[in-house]
Amino acid sequence: MCEQNEEKTTKKSLNFIEEIVENDLRNSLNDGRLQTRFPPEPNGYLHIGHAKAICMDFGIAQKYGGVCNLRFDDTNPEKEDTEYVEAIKHDIEWLGFKWGNIYHASDYFQQLWDFAVRLIKEGKAYVDEQTSEQIAAQKGTPTEPGVASPYRDRPVEESLALFEKMNNGEVPEGSMVLRAKIDMANPNMHFRDPVIYRIIHRDHHRTGSKWKAYPMYDFAHGQSDYFEGVTHSICTLEFVPHRPLYDYFIDELKGGQDLADHRPRQYEFNRLNLTYTVMSKRKLLALVQEGLVDGWDDPRMPTICGLRRRGYSPEAVRRFIDMIGYTKFDALNDYAMLEAAAREDLNQRSLRVSAVLHPVKLIITNYPEDQEDEMQAVNNPENEADGTHAITFSRELWIEQDDFMEEAPKKFFRMTPGKEVRLKNAYIVMCTGCKKNEKGEVEEIYCEYDPQSRSGLPGADRKVKGTLHWVSCKHARKAEVRLYDRLFTVENPSADSRDFRELLNPDSLQVLTECYVEPYAAQCKPMDYLQFQRIGYFTPDKHSTPEHPVYNRTVNLKDTWAKQK
């Protein structure tokens, strides 16, 4: 965490997980150790929701001198891939966090297998040959007990032999599962003989073809925490009903040993849900695979790589996570808050440059054709140390079409015939007229400049109401600018009965190809944070080159959505 944030968090009151941790440390639980983990399944790219978990898991370890490890929860070879493993590591580092060790749930396949065999031998697990539909139909409801499987009391030897077959490829997928034998009447449905192993005939990205029987989440997660010495296993609220089962398997695993009660404990906080987007990896993957977006890092995606390509800084993402906080109640967070966090952050760090997105030519008729002026533009008024850069003024400039009106209302303080405005960092000009084509569109605007009014000269502080940005036609680079809007048209696509594809915003991307930027901006690279003055925050796209600069709009200067609502 950056110093600024650290200062902020110490002043703030503790969140409920910090309170738990402080209390546990005070009481020397687990010998006063603090060990957390961030446990992504490598089946997709990380999104802003994961960032919330990352800030908690890594942040709390950092704050209290503990360690946070990265554990890949790789128990389902059907969807997992090393591409995701690498991307996840990169995104965590980009967010500014460091893990202690990297672990994999697949490192524990043998230990988990041995534990399952032990449970079978102790009469606490059995192989069920029913279909998943039959098993589901017997589950009962929270108020009605379930029905026992006909295989529930099969001999131990039979289960052991079949479990072996589940793993050696002799029996097809779906033909049988291993279930823990717990309590078919338990009010907690997770205790009604949960499935703990299933068959998957697919090579695993780390263990190859060694295993065909794979442990389910509930049988892998808590045990992995225990093997690693995790003390606080922090996750999201949907795991609350799983917690008793988590504890049950750890009790079984310990088998009465370890009297000091060294064990991981699970704590849950509210997940991050954001308006106008989806957070499910299944849906995000579908958007990518169906070509509905330009990859996982499409700047409209809520993924970390998407936000990065969009021009969010890691500090902006963390600032947002800090703003929403951690509670025990699920909520839908406003996308506008994420944008507000970005604005606050980018205002501090962005390089101010000039860009004209909808250009019209302005000719300064009394400025000599062969003359040029070099001026200095302030890089960042929020930080003097950022210095200045040179800009060039000449007779013909591009300005924004919106900044001119032939017949303007009284309060229009931009360019209109007979009125003066200042051209930023340059001169005061008086508009003298314009030329229009047959369609009545303005083709050129004319003005005269006052040489005495050059910014910085004595007496140049003459009052004019408006200041316009501009770029010199001769020096500017043509650029492509991509304006992004909400990916979905509805606030909560996940709660909508329609297919999420139908809810995509058809206008979420607008590409402007006739824009002009000052040369200094054309040299910038992805993750250089720019402010196009008077317009918004932008960053060069990964495909941007100095010859063909391409920029992504991160966010407008102001929240234009608030007005529309």
What amino acid positions are annotated as catalytic residues? 41, 271, 281
In the bound state with ligand ATP, the residue whose beta carbon lies nearer, of 149 and 270, is 270
Site string for ligand ATP, 13-42 (x = CB under 6 A): --------------------------xxx-
Least distance CB 325 / ligand ATP (angstroms): 12
Contact status: 52 vs ligand ATP (CB under 6 A): yes
Return the residue of 15, 175, 207, 280 that touches ligand ATP, per CB under 6 A. 280
The partner residues of 480 in beta bridges, in order of sequence, read 550
Q: What crossing angle do the helices spanning 82-95 and 314-324 adopt, rounded to 10°? A: 80
| DSSP assignments along 442-460, one per residue | EEEEEEEE-GGG-TTSTTT
Site string for ligand ATP, 307-326 (x = CB under 6 A): --------------------
Least distance CB 409 / ligand ATP (angstroms): 47
Query: By CB under 6 A, what part of segment 379-418 binds ligand ATP?
Result: none
In the bound state with ligand ATP, the residue whose beta carbon lies nearer, of 163 and 219, is 219
Q: For residue 423, what are its two tokens?
A: 């051209």
Alpha-carbon span 247 to 86, nearest angstrom? 32
In the bound state with ligand ATP, the residue whose beta carbon lies nearer, of 45 and 520, is 45
Please state the length of the chain.
Answer: 565
| DSSP assignments along 76-117, one per residue | -TTT--HHHHHHHHHHHHHHT---S-EEEGGGGHHHHHHHHH
Least distance CB 343 / ligand ATP (angstroms): 23
Return the residue of 34, 53, 112, 166 that touches ligand ATP, per CB under 6 A. 53
Least distance CB 321 / ligand ATP (angstroms): 9
Query: By CB under 6 A, what part of segment 72-101 binds ligand ATP?
Result: 73
- Element (DSSP H or E) covering residue 356: strand 355-356
Nearest to 396 by CA among 338, 321, 471: 471
In the bound state with ligand ATP, the residue whose beta carbon lies nearer, of 323 and 390, is 323
Name the one range near ligand ATP by CB under 6 A: 279-287, 293-301, 415-423, 515-523.
Answer: 279-287
Least distance CB 46 / ligand ATP (angstroms): 8
Least distance CB 461 / ligand ATP (angstroms): 52
Q: For residue 250, what are its two tokens?
A: 């750890």
In the bound state with ligand ATP, the residue whose beta carbon lies nearer, of 137 and 332, is 332
In the bound state with ligand ATP, the residue whose beta carbon lies nearer, of 50 and 206, is 50
Ramachandran angles phi, psi of 250, nearest 5°:
-70, -40
How many other β-carbons are positioned within 10 Å of the β-carbon of residue 90?
15
Q: Could you tell me how many residues of this chain bind ligand ATP (CB under 6 A)?
A: 16
Contact status: 221 vs ligand ATP (CB under 6 A): no
Contact status: 279 vs ligand ATP (CB under 6 A): yes
Least distance CB 281 / ligand ATP (angstroms): 4
Alpha-carbon span 380 to 354, nearest angstrom? 13
- Tell the residue number behind the tokens 């369609």, with chain if given: 439
Least distance CB 223 / ligand ATP (angstroms): 16
Side-chain-side CA neighbours of residue 296 (13 Å) = 18
Query: By CB under 6 A, what part of segment 232-271 binds ligand ATP?
Result: 235-236, 271
Q: What crossing angle do the helices spanning 314-324 and 48-63 adopt, rounded to 10°? A: 80
Return the residue of 17, 49, 178, 518 that touches ligand ATP, per CB under 6 A. 49
Return the residue of 272, 353, 391, 524 that touches ligand ATP, per CB under 6 A. 272
Going by C-beta distance under 8 Å and a sequence separation of 6 or more, which residues neighbour residue 251? none
Site string for ligand ATP, 492-531 (x = CB under 6 A): ----------------------------------------
Alpha-carbon span 162 to 119, nearest angstrom? 14
Alpha-carbon span 352 to 536, nearest angstrom? 10
Least distance CB 118 / ligand ATP (angstroms): 27
Alpha-carbon span 101 to 153, nearest angstrom? 42
C-alpha dist (Å) from residue 21 to 11, 54, 267, 366, 453:
18, 16, 10, 72, 63
Going by C-beta distance under 8 Å and a sequence separation of 6 or more, which residues neighbour residue 426? 373, 375, 393, 449, 454, 455, 470
Contact status: 135 vs ligand ATP (CB under 6 A): no
Return the residue of 205, 281, 319, 395 that touches ligand ATP, per CB under 6 A. 281
Nearest to 231 by CA among 270, 269, 266, 268: 266
Q: Are 20 and 267 in contact (CB under 8 A)?
A: yes
In the bound state with ligand ATP, the residue whose beta carbon lies nearer, of 57 and 128, is 57
Name the one range near ligand ATP by CB under 6 A: 21-29, 275-283, 310-318, 402-410.
Answer: 275-283
In the bound state with ligand ATP, the residue whose beta carbon lies nearer, of 227 and 413, is 227
Residue nearest ligand ATP (C-beta atom):
49
In the bound state with ligand ATP, the residue whose beta carbon lies nearer, of 72 and 427, is 72
Q: Mind spelling out the 3-state secondary structure of 369-426?
A: CCCCEEEEEECCCCCHHHCEEEEEECCEEEEEHHHECCCCCCCCCCECCCCEEEECCC
In the bound state with ligand ATP, the residue whose beta carbon lies nearer, of 267 and 470, is 267
Least distance CB 43 / ligand ATP (angstroms): 6
Nearest to 472 by CA among 389, 387, 371, 348: 371
Binding interface with ligand ATP (CB under 6 A): 39-41, 43, 49-50, 52-53, 73, 235-236, 271-272, 279-281
